Amino acid sequence: MKHFFAPTSVAVVGASARAGKIGHDIIRNLQTSGFAGAIYPINPKSPEILGLKAYPSVLDADGEIDLAVIVVPAVAVLPVMEECAQKRIDSVIIITAGFKESGPEGIELEKELARIAKRGGIRVVGPNCLGIIATGSGLNASFAPVFPKAGSLALMSQSGALATAILDWSVQNGIGYSKFVSFGNGVDVGVVDLLRAWEDDPETRVIVAYMEGLPNGPEFMRVAKEVSQKKPVIVVKSGNTQAGARAVSSHTGSLAGSGEAYTAAFKQCGVIRAHSVEELFDLAVAFAYQEIPRSRRVAILTNAGGPGIMATDAVETAGLELAPIGADTVAKLRTKLPPASNFHNPVDCLGDAGADRYNFTAETVLADPNVDAALAVLTPQTSTQPYETAEGLAAAAAKYQKPMLACFMGGGAMTGAIDLLGGHRIPNYPYPERAVQALATMVRYREWREEPEDPIERFEADIEAVKAIFRSARAEGRVNLGEIEAREVVQAYGVHMPKSRVAQNAEEAARFADEIGYPVVMKIVSPDILHKSDLGGVRVGIRGRQEAMDAFELMMLRIRRYAPNADLRGVSVQEMVQTGREVILGSTRDPQFGPLVMFGLGGIYVEVLKDVSFRVAPFGRRHARMMIDEIRSAPLLRGARGERPCDLDAIVASLLTLSQLVTDFPEIVEMDVNPLKVGEPGQGAVAVDARITITEQSQ
| Interface with ligand ADP (CB under 6 A) | 498, 521, 523, 531-533, 538, 540, 574, 576-577, 582, 674-675, 688-689
Angle, helices 648-664/483-492, rounded to nearest 10 degrees: 100
Least Cβ distance, residue 675 to ligand ADP (angstroms): 5
Nearer to ligand ADP, 570 or 675 (CB): 675
Selected binder of Mg ion within 308, 689, 690, 694 (CB under 5 A): 689
Nearer to Mg ion, 533 or 698 (CB): 533
Least Cβ distance, residue 598 to Mg ion (angstroms): 14
Cα 50 to Cα 24, 397, 525, distances in angstroms? 8, 48, 80
Nearer to ligand ADP, 250 or 659 (CB): 250
Least Cβ distance, residue 605 to Mg ion (angstroms): 14
Q: How many CA atoms lie within 13 A of 363 on its CB side?
A: 16
Beta strands in 164-211 (DSSP E): 177-182, 206-211
203 binds Mg ion (CB under 5 A): no
Amino acid at 8: T
User: Residue with the closest Cβ to Mg ion?
Assistant: 689
Least Cβ distance, residue 220 to ligand ADP (angstroms): 36
d(CA 680, CA 647): 5
φ/ψ (deg, to 5) at 367: -70, -20
d(CA 41, CA 27): 7
Q: Check: CB of residue 213 under 8 Å from CB of residue 238.
A: no
Which one of Mg ion, ligand ADP, none is in contact with 574 (Cβ closer than 5 to 8 A by kind)? ligand ADP
Which one of Mg ion, ligand ADP, none is in contact with 341 (Cβ closer than 5 to 8 A by kind)? none
φ/ψ (deg, to 5) at 642: 85, -15
16 binds Mg ion (CB under 5 A): no
Nearer to ligand ADP, 267 or 532 (CB): 532
d(CA 539, CA 522): 5
Q: Check: CB of residue 448 under 8 Å from CB of residue 491.
A: no
Which one of Mg ion, ligand ADP, none is in contact with 540 (Cβ closer than 5 to 8 A by kind)? ligand ADP
Three-state DSSP at 420 gives: helix
Least Cβ distance, residue 534 to ligand ADP (angstroms): 6
Least Cβ distance, residue 686 to ligand ADP (angstroms): 8
Nearer to Mg ion, 24 or 523 (CB): 523
Give CA 181 to chain center in angstroms. 20
Q: Which of 33, 21, 122, 32 is nearest to 77 (CA)?
A: 122
572 binds Mg ion (CB under 5 A): no
Which own/partner pairs from 265-268 qualify as long-range (CB within 8 Å, at least 24 positions apart)?
A: 265/217, 265/220, 265/221, 265/593, 265/616, 266/235, 266/237, 267/615, 267/623, 267/626, 268/221, 268/225, 268/615, 268/616, 268/619, 268/623
d(CA 314, CA 432): 7
Nearer to ligand ADP, 290 or 654 (CB): 654
Three-state DSSP at 425 gives: coil
User: What track of x and - describes contact with Mg ion for positions 640 through 679 (by CB under 5 A)?
Assistant: ----------------------------------x-----
d(CA 210, CA 187): 17
Least Cβ distance, residue 498 to ligand ADP (angstroms): 4
364 binds Mg ion (CB under 5 A): no
Nearer to ligand ADP, 164 or 574 (CB): 574
Least Cβ distance, residue 555 to ligand ADP (angstroms): 13
Q: Check: CB of residue 204 under 8 Å from CB of residue 153.
A: yes
Nearer to ligand ADP, 231 or 532 (CB): 532
Least Cβ distance, residue 560 to ligand ADP (angstroms): 18
Which one of ligand ADP, Mg ion, none is in contact with 577 (Cβ closer than 5 to 8 A by kind)? ligand ADP
Nearer to ligand ADP, 363 or 582 (CB): 582
Residues contributing to the site for Mg ion (CB under 5 A)? 674, 689
